[in-house]
Every structure is written in structure tokens, then in C-alpha cells.
């Protein structure tokens, strides 16, 4: 039994999304993307695919098996990461979407996102260093002064230095209002930073000579709470007299994670000797507002990682199911008949189809979200930019959460398809399952994302984002009808979106009465409700494109039939769940709300 080589993602799926569903080349009509065309998109995709499959993927297992070591106060990573870091930089992963003025390629985010999914599927830890660096450098690009850009941003975009986001503290967790790290201004213009951070991904390593921590801290005398938090660039080593010298940034300990094992998660100490120089980014007390740029970019990145991790496992399970002979078809009478591949068994196809529906629905979701980011930044019309921004804001917590939560379920099914072999470290699905679990926590837990979606994004501006989403869904329904998609699917989606609107209004009314607890009590259920509907929208859009492909005689026909089968699955098995979820949200069922700690 020899399974085919894992492609990580299906190239045809990616091309289908870019060119048949989203029509990404239309972005090239915008001035920012004018130097691009489908040819440049394909060139970047092909380079990413080749690097992912030939260079990165062979390093995944050894890096997972031998995580970074914390010795003598410093972190040393697996040698394979040093071998792949520079090729990733040379590909342009750090600056693909950034302006030419800072060394970027001005590539649409939707293209970079799908290309990056291959790299993440191949070795997510290796990509993590670069993703964090881009996000940190973009903060300095957006809010830093010229001196900070010259000192830090240029070196980070060049891959000479890396970056992190240093937010979380031991006593605060996700509650950034409780940040206690302090910054005292000096006569020289810099600040002396002192405090502790924890769970800092990529906080120390030996890939580059320096690491720049984008750090939240409270200037002495600042107001309490969110409004008193500022943003600083705090390097591991600072420049003095043209030389890099230690900056009183130390590793206090390493967290031994179950997944993402090539990217160290660290406890960090700043200023124990009173000599940690930090450099203010932007204006004082605006740190949280600034950092949300990086956090929102990182949320989408986590969603792409989750999609990629689920995809790699799905492709592995599919290859295994095609190659693994076991048993005979139901109803077979001859015990001497040859065994059949397990994909011939209906329950295996059930598990594979669910994975396909989750993975390809997630891929469409993150690609669509990235497309709105492109339009929010670069559309020619101000109203179109504002509308795209509303949709981006609404979809970001969904694009982070759905791939992470449902991706974990998909990963578990991939393991199950492998049977007993799946429960061993000799096969890869268990490693991807471990990786995937972290995505439900990265960049805000699922609970936090649900609170953000319902408490902020869905009700902002009187529900303007939901109105925009409803408009997009109605356009998709119209296109599906014209393409000849099953009419009932559009009807069900329209009814489900109306249900989301009704539930949102009902819960918002409770919030307006001052009963915020009642409004947000079932925010996790609301997230699942909204996610299920949004992914149904994605599947309807893909079904319409599939029908158009079949009508045009495009090949292979089986590819399009597979899309229609997966869409049927979503509309038949998943979308019907929204009524129960909506009823739960409306009811205010309070079992866990009224449960007292002493009753457990």
C-alpha cells in the first residue's frame, strides 16, 4: 500500500477560488495592483507550492519531533528551520502585500493568503516566525516615526531581524486592560521598560541576530485600564555606537506546547537590571488601538493556519483511503473477492466529505475575507472601501474561529480515517491534530471571538455590517439561481440569514436595556450560528461557479460535481442546525449562567 504524495492543498481548489469564484484579477484594475495580472499571481503561487512541497514539508516531522531547546538563557531552534528561513524570505513572504516603497510586491492579500496556505500546511512553525515579523513591521510602518522605520522596519522586512507581539502577562491573560509592564521616559528620549510577558511566540531563537518585540506597556502616570496602554518597540539587542548590545531582555522560561512545536512560546522578562530601552510607537496611550491592526491581521493568519492544517490532514486521509485495502463492499458474497480500498465504504466517504466541506468552506471563507481586506484598503470608491471594511470587521472573528473549531473536528476525522494507524506517532494526523488545537486559543479564544462578533461587530453602526452581508448573500443567491443551482439552497440560505438578523436584533434589544449578560450569554452559540450561515454562503457561491463550469464544458467535470456534492452536504446537514442555535440564543437558557462555582 503506497499512498500518493500529500499535495497539502488541492491546486485546482485554489485556482477555482481565485479565478472562478472571486475573480481576483479584477483587482488589477485598481491602481495599487496595476502592475499585476493573472500571470504574476500564478508565478507567486507556483513558487509557493514548490517551496512548500519540496523544501518545507520534509522538515515538518523532524521539527515537530525536536522542539527548540532553552539552554544557558537562550533558545536554539532545530537546524532545519535555519535552512528554510532564508528561502521563505527570498520568496517574498514577509513583504508580498506591502507597498513597493518599503520593498514590497503590492500583491493582493487574497493571492498571498492562498499562497501562504501551502507554506503553512507544509510547516506552520517555520511560517510563524515570518507572519509575526510582518505583522510587527507593519505596525511600525503604519504608526512609527521615520527613525523607527529606518532602525527596525527595514531590517525586519529584509528578514535580517524578526518580530513578535508581546501582549500577554501572567496576571492578565487575555485581559489587556490589566497590563502592568511599566515604561519610564528618559531625557534621552527612549523609555526604560520593566515587566514580564508570557506566551510570546518566537520570543527568542537563533535564526536572526535580533528580535524586535512590539510590546504593550503603561507609561508612568498613565490612566488605568485600556486607555492607559502604549505601544513600544523593544529589541532584544539595541544599537549603540554602530554595534548591537544586550538590551536587558531575557527569557525567563519556555512553555512546552502540544503543537506548533517548532515555534517557541516563552516567558519573557524586561528590564530586570533597569536597562531595557523601549521606543514609543506612535502616540502615548494608543497601544491597544494600534495593536488591533496586528491582532486582526493575526486572527486571519490563524484562520489560514487552521485551514491549512485541516487541509494537510484531509489530503493525507484522502490519499490513505484511496490506497488502503480493507474489507469488501456491503452485500459482497464472495469471501475470496479482492479487498477494496476503504474509500469504497460509505462511512469513510462520509468522514471524507465532511472534511472536504469544512476544509474547502474554510478556504473560501479566508480567501473572501482577504479579498475584502484588499478592497477596504485599495478600492477606488470611498463608499466601497467603507463597505468592504464593515464586511472585513464582521468576518474576521468568524474567519479565525470557524477554521480553528471545525478544523479540529476535521483533523479528528482524518485521524479516524487512518484507523489504528491514526493513533500512532508514525503517521502524521496526530501531529496535525495537536497543532490544530492551539488555533482555538491563538489570538483570542473562541469565547473572546464570540463576544467580539456579537458584542461589537454585528451591532456596530446599527447593524450596518449585517446589512452589507445580507446584500452579499442576496447577490450570491441571484447568481446561483441564474447558474441553475438547486433553488431550495438559495431559499434556505436567505431564510437562515433572516434568522441571524432577527436573533441579532432580539439580543441587541437586551443589551440596550442594560442587560449585557443576557445579550452575550449565548455568544458562543451565536458564533456557531453566524459561522454556519456564512460558510453556507461560501458553498452557494462555489456551487454557482461549479454549475457555470459544467455548463461551459470545463474539465474535469468530476471536480465540479464534487463541489456540488459538498455543497449539498452543507445545505442538507449543517444549515438546518441554525434553527436550534437561534432558538437557544433567543431563549436565554441560563443553566451555566446561574450555575454557582460551589455546585460543580
> Active-site residue numbers?
443
Closest alpha carbon to 414 in 310, 285, 565, 283 = 310
Query: What whole-number distance in Å separates Cα of residue 30 and Cα of residue 123?
Result: 33
Strand-pair category, 211-219 with 182-185: parallel
Can you read off the three cell numbers belonging to residue 518? 443576557
The three three-digit cell numbers of residue 557, written as one number: 467535470
CB-side neighbour CA atoms (13 Å) of 340: 15
Distance CA 85, CA 128 (A): 11
- Contact 55/84 with Cβ under 8 angstroms? yes
Would the CA dihedral through 181, 187, 190, 192 be positive or negative? Answer: negative
The single residue listed with the C-alpha cell 452575550 is 520
State the angle between helix axes of 346-378 and 109-122 in degrees (0 to 180), rounded to the nearest 10: 140
Residue 431, C-alpha cell as written in the block: 501531529
- Look at residue 488 and give its three-state secondary structure: helix
Q: What SS3 state is found at 83?
A: helix
140 exposure class (CB count in 10 Å sphere: 0-12, 13-18, 19+): buried
User: CB under 8 Å to 463, separation ≥6 — which residues?
Assistant: 501, 504, 505, 508
Angle at 60 between CA 78 and CA 343, to 5 degrees: 165
Beta bridge partners of 179: none
Q: What DSSP letter does each residue of 283-295 carry, written as one string?
A: STT-HHHHHHHHH
Hey, what's the cell of 592? 451555566
Instruction: Tell me the C-alpha to C-alpha distance, in Å, between residue 419 and each of 328, 359, 414.
Output: 16, 21, 9
For β-strands 211-219 and 230-235, DSSP reports them as antiparallel
Q: What is the dihedral of CA 18, 469, 134, 29, to 10 degrees?
A: 50
Cβ atoms 272, 447 nearer than 8 A: no
Q: Which candidate, 153, 139, 221, 159, places its Cα nearest to that of 184?
A: 221
Helix (H) or strand (E) holding 243: strand 243-246
Map residue 197 onto helix, strand or coil.
Answer: strand
Amino acid at each position: 500500500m503506497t499512498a500518493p504524495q500529500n499535495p497539502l492543498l488541492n491546486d485546482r481548489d485554489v485556482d477555482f477560488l481565485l479565478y472562478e469564484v472571486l475573480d481576483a484579477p479584477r483587482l488589477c484594475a485598481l491602481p495599487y495592483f496595476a502592475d499585476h495580472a493573472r500571470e504574476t499571481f500564478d508565478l507567486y503561487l507556483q513558487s509557493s507550492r514548490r517551496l512548500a512541497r519540496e523544501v518545507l514539508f520534509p522538515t515538518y516531522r523532524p521539527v515537530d519531533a525536536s522542539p527548540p531547546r532553552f539552554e544557558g538563557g537562550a533558545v536554539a531552534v532545530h537546524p532545519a528551520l535555519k535552512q528554510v528561513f532564508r528561502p521563505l524570505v527570498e520568496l517574498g513572504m514577509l513583504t508580498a502585500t506591502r507597498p513597493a516603497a518599503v520593498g514590497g510586491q503590492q500583491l493582493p492579500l487574497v493571492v498571498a493568503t492562498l499562497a501562504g496556505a501551502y507554506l503553512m500546511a507544509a510547516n506552520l512553525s517555520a511560517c510563524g516566525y515570518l507572519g509575526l515579523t510582518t505583522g510587527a513591521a507593519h505596525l511600525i510602518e503604519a504608526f512609527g516615526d521615520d527613525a523607527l522605520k529606518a532602525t527596525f522596519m527595514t531590517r525586519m522586512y529584509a528578514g535580517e531581524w524578526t518580530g513578535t507581539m508581546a501582549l500577554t502577562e501572567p496576571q492578565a491573560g487575555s485581559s489587556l486592560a490589566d497590563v502592568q509592564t511599566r515604561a519610564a521616559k528618559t531625557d534621552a528620549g527612549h523609555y526604560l521598560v520593566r515587566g514580564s510577558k508570557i506566551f510570546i511566540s518566537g520570543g527568542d531563537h537563533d535564526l536572526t541576530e535580533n528580535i524586535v518585540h512590539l510590546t504593550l506597556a503603561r507609561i508612568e502616570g498613565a490612566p488605568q485600564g485600556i486607555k492607559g496602554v502604549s505601544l513600544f518597540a523593544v529589541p532584544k539587542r539595541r544599537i549603540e555606537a554602530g554595534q548591537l548590545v544586550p538590551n536587558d531582555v531575557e527569557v525567563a522560561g519556555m512553555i512546552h506546547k502540544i503543537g506548533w512545536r517548532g515555534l517557541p512560546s516563552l516567558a519573557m522578562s524586561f528590564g530586570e537590571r533597569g536597562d531595557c530601552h523601549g521606543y514609543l510607537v506612535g502616540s502615548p496611550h494608543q497601544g491597544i488601538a494600534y495593536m488591533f491592526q496586528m491582532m486582526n491581521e493575526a486572527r486571519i493568519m490563524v484562520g489560514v493556519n487552521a485551514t491549512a492544517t485541516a487541509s494537510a490532514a484531509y489530503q493525507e486521509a484522502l490519499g490513505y483511503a484511496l490506497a488502503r485495502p480493507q474489507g469488501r463492499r456491503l452485500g459482497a458474497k464472495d469471501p475470496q473477492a479482492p479487498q477494496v480500498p476503504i474509500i469504497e465504504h460509505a462511512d469513510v466517504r462520509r468522514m471524507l466529505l465532511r472534511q472536504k466541506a469544512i476544509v474547502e468552506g474554510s478556504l473560501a471563507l479566508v480567501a473572501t475575507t482577504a479579498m475584502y481586506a484588499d478592497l477596504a484598503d485599495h478600492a477606488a470608491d470611498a463608499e466601497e472601501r467603507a463597505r468592504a471594511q464593515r464586511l472585513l470587521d464582521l468576518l474576521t472573528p468568524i474567519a479565525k474561529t470557524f477554521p480553528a473549531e471545525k478544523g479540529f473536528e476535521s483533523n479528528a476525522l482524518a485521524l479516524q480515517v487512518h484507523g489504528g494507524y491514526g493513533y500512532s506517532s508514525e503517521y502524521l494526523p496526530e501531529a496535525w491534530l495537536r497543532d490544530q488545537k492551539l488555533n482555538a486559543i491563538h489570538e483570542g479564544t473562541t469565547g473572546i471571538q464570540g463576544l467580539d462578533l456579537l458584542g461589537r461587530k454585528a451591532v456596530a453602526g446599527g447593524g450596518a455590517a449585517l446589512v452589507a452581508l445580507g446584500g452579499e448573500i442576496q447577490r450570491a443567491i441571484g447568481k446561483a439561481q441564474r447558474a441553475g443551482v438547486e433553488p431550495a439552497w438559495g431559499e434556505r440560505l436567505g431564510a437562515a440569514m433572516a434568522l441571524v438578523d432577527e436573533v441579532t436584533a432580539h439580543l441587541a434589544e437586551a443589551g440596550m436595556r442594560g442587560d449585557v449578560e443576557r445579550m452575550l450569554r449565548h455568544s458562543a452559540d451565536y458564533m456557531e450560528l453566524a459561522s454556519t450561515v456564512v460558510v453556507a454562503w461560501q458553498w452557494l457561491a462555489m456551487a454557482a461557479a461549479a454549475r457555470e463550469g459544467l455548463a461551459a464544458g470545463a474539465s474535469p467535470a468530476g471536480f465540479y460535481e464534487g463541489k456540488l456534492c459538498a455543497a449539498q452536504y452543507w445545505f442538507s446537514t449543517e444549515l438546518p442546525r441554525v434553527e436550534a442555535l437561534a432558538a437557544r440564543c433567543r431563549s436565554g437558557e441560563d443553566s451555566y449562567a446561574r450555575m454557582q462555582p460551589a455546585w460543580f
